[in-house]
A and B are shown apart, each in its own frame.
Chain A
Amino acid sequence: MRIGVVTFPGSLDDRDAARAVRECGGEAVPLWHGDADLVGVDAVILPGGFSYGDYLRCGAIARFAPVMEALVPAAQGGLPVLGICNGFQVLTESHLLPGALIRNDHRKFNCVDQRLVVENASTAWTSDFEAGQEITIVLKNGEGGYVADERTLDELEGDGRVVFRYVPDAQGRNPNGSYRHIAGITNERGNVVGLMPHPEHAVEEGYGPSLDGRGFFTSIIKQTLESAATA
């Protein structure tokens, strides 16, 4: 079970993501942005951070990195890909996922333990959760407001492709102004998942608000082992 973790210039959480993979029983394989080669990994994580300094738009320049030339067709072909925070932004800029992430509506950087509801527990990255389950993981972003046009939002909801929603506060607000409280979505096939919060910061006792992040990594490890067994 080999999970690639891409490092772009400005990636921040690639080490934490790799550590989370190892903590949950997988092998983490470093992938370099400049190499258009996925070295046969079973899944890929695009980590959080500030690739290319967030210049132009978050994720916009990373989207054209050589590694993405290999990743985009592989993801379209069914390779499981998880984009966390900046990785989610890269996935929307790559058009692997619809919509876009814009600056938080309150203009402040968030750094909070955030409650989420898992709405879709059948993706490659969420099968170890139950639909409707509430989890708490770290959210830290300045540009995490999820936006898309009404038709796209209706489609995502109609097709069950909203994977995570923020639990709104008492005023009915979510932490970054995301439309319809959307925290994470998936593609039609369910192999590509992007979310703003950080599961890799909630996998170890004593660090982070919970161990709820483990489910992301155990889900993909289990699925890959199962598909290898049936192949």
Chain B
Amino acid sequence: MGSIVVDVMLKPEILDPQGQAVGGALPRLGFSGFTDVRQGKRFVLSVDGDVTDEHLAAAREAAEKLLSNPVIEDVVSVHVLDEGSADDAGSESPESPESPEGHGAGEAEGDAQ
């Protein structure tokens, strides 16, 4: 199964109150070196089989028509998800079927209260 990543950001001239809120919280955690935060959106569009040029073209059209609002946002990237890259591998790894900490029992105790 292939996937396409679409990244959308607010245009630089548009105020980003969410980014400002995040930016305001960072120094409280000791991260004082960042002068600005802008928050964007990432969409991952999956397809059956490998990603084709048609898939990419459709993704670009969807990005302009629905995933972004060209009045306030820019589509900064439409690209095929690279399964080998580090940041994408994390989301692909299957969860362990066994819970090592025996969560089930703990939850049952909580419910009993």
Q: Which residues of A contact B (CB under 8 A)?
A: 56-57, 60, 64, 92-93, 98-100, 102-107, 145, 147-148, 177
Q: List the one stretch of B53-61, B64-72, B104-112 in contact with chain A.
A: B64-72
B69 proximity list for chain A (CB < 8 A): 57, 60, 93, 100
Cα distance, A93 to B67, chains bound together (Å): 11
Whether A147 touches B14, Cβ cut-off 8 Å, given contacts A57-B69, A93-B69, A100-B72, is yes
Whether A92 touches B71, Cβ cut-off 8 Å, given contacts A56-B66, A60-B66, is yes
* Contact indicator B71/A148 (Cβ below 8 Å): yes
Return the chain B residue nearest A145 by Cβ: B15
Whether A105 touches B72, Cβ cut-off 8 Å, given contacts A56-B67, A60-B66, is no
Please name 8 pairs of A and B residues whose Cβ atoms are closer than 8 Å in the assembled complex, sorted by A: A98-B71, A100-B69, A100-B72, A102-B72, A103-B17, A107-B21, A147-B14, A177-B15
Cα distance, A130 to B10, chains bound together (Å): 38
How far apart are A36's CB and chain B's nearest CB, in angstroms?
18
| New A-B pairs, 12, CB < 8 Å, besides A60-B69, A102-B72 | A56-B67, A92-B71, A98-B71, A99-B71, A100-B69, A100-B71, A100-B72, A102-B10, A102-B15, A105-B15, A107-B21, A147-B71
Return the chain A residue nearest B72 by Cβ: A100
How far apart are B84's CB and chain A's nearest CB, in angstroms?
30
Q: Which residues of B contact A (CB under 8 A)?
A: 10, 14-15, 17-18, 20-21, 66-67, 69, 71-72
How far apart are B45's CB and chain A's nearest CB, in angstroms?
14
Cα distance, A135 to B89, chains bound together (Å): 57
How far apart are A178's CB and chain B's nearest CB, in angstroms?
11
* Contact indicator A103/B18 (Cβ below 8 Å): yes
B14 proximity list for chain A (CB < 8 A): 102, 147
Return the chain B residue nearest A142 by Cβ: B17
What are the 5 tightest A-B residue pairs by CB atom distance, in nearest-first order? A100-B71, A103-B17, A100-B72, A107-B17, A57-B69
Return the chain A residue nearest B10 by Cβ: A102
Cα distance, A115 to B2, chains bound together (Å): 53
* Contact indicator B66/A64 (Cβ below 8 Å): yes
A148 proximity list for chain B (CB < 8 A): 71
Cα distance, A107 to B23, chains bound together (Å): 13
* Contact indicator A147/B72 (Cβ below 8 Å): yes
Cα distance, A100 to B21, chains bound together (Å): 21
B71 proximity list for chain A (CB < 8 A): 92, 98-100, 147-148
A100 proximity list for chain B (CB < 8 A): 69, 71-72
Cα distance, A57 to B41, chains bound together (Å): 11
B66 proximity list for chain A (CB < 8 A): 56, 60, 64
How far apart are A145's CB and chain B's nearest CB, in angstroms?
7
* Contact indicator B67/A105 (Cβ below 8 Å): no
Cα distance, A56 to B14, chains bound together (Å): 17
Cα distance, A56 to B8, chains bound together (Å): 11
